[in-house]
Amino acid sequence: MSNSDRVVLALGGAGTLGSGIVKALLDKGFKVAVISRDSIRLERLQSFVSPNTKNNLTTIVGNVGLEEGAEQAKQALLKAVGKVTDIVSSLGFSWCQGGPPYTQTLKDLQWVIETLLFSTFVSWKAFFPLVRDGSDCTYTFITGGAGVKLLMPGTGFLTVGAASTLAFCQVLQDEYPEVPCKLNQTTPGLATPERIVPGYLNHLDLGQGVAALVERRATSHAVLMVNCPADLKSALLERSL
């Protein structure tokens, strides 16, 4: 199956991280669909991608963090694109520095867990059946480096939420060890454009890595650690992505 015959659903594709992934997939010739609650973000995404690839980008307004919303979005998606061959999930927010845990509330923690873990679970439950039985299909989770370690003081709740999502994705790989779909997870050391520092990946670099992983379909049921640009370069050269 050529890239032009494949349709990638990019969950979280309107966010900072997701936009880099969407752009890279489109540049490789994939058709890409993005669902977001925020129509303004979808408009920004249309302006962000390469002009000659816009016709291959489908945007849908919907809420994949709620069960009813995810089902509605799925029906709208299938009506718009007909099929899905690959899914990349990079749901959640890119940064949360609310302070030490004792200064925050239970409501703050609930918001983090809902945004990172619950949305990942609800969307997986809705969309995984679209690709589960296809040996040419992929489902890739982007869980982020925050799930592995505390990034800096004040980001503890981000770590708790990201670690919960990381654990959920690992559970899925163990629960479905022989599913035909290529089921993978990456935990990149990523910084947003305004916070980029040496040694961290930006969203465009990571997008190229994820696009290569989806394109090659050579890896399954793996947790791929890409903590810095050097890791990404090695992974691309060794074709482990």
What pLDDT digit, counting tens, does each position of 78-115 carry?
999 999 999 999 987 666 778 888 899 999 999 989 98
Domains: count for the chain: 1
What average pLDDT does the chain have? 87
- pLDDT score, position 238: 66
- pLDDT score, position 189: 62
Nearest-10 Cα torsion for 33, 210, 40, 4? -30
- pLDDT score, position 143: 84
Q: Which of 16-20, 107-111, 146-150, 161-165 is the least confident region?
A: 146-150
Contact 56, 31 (CB under 8 A): yes
pLDDT higher than 80, residue 193: no
Q: What residue numbers bound the domain in which 118 lies?
A: 3-238
State the CATH number of the domain containing residue 195.
3.40.50.720
The pTM of this model reads 0.90
* Percent of the chain whose predicted confidence (pLDDT) is above 70: 88
pLDDT higher than 90, residue 10: yes
Q: For the chain, how far is it from start to end, CA to CA, in angstroms?
A: 18
- pLDDT score, position 222: 82
In whole angstroms, what is the distance from residue 24 CA to residue 60 CA? 19
Structure tokens at 236: 């691309």
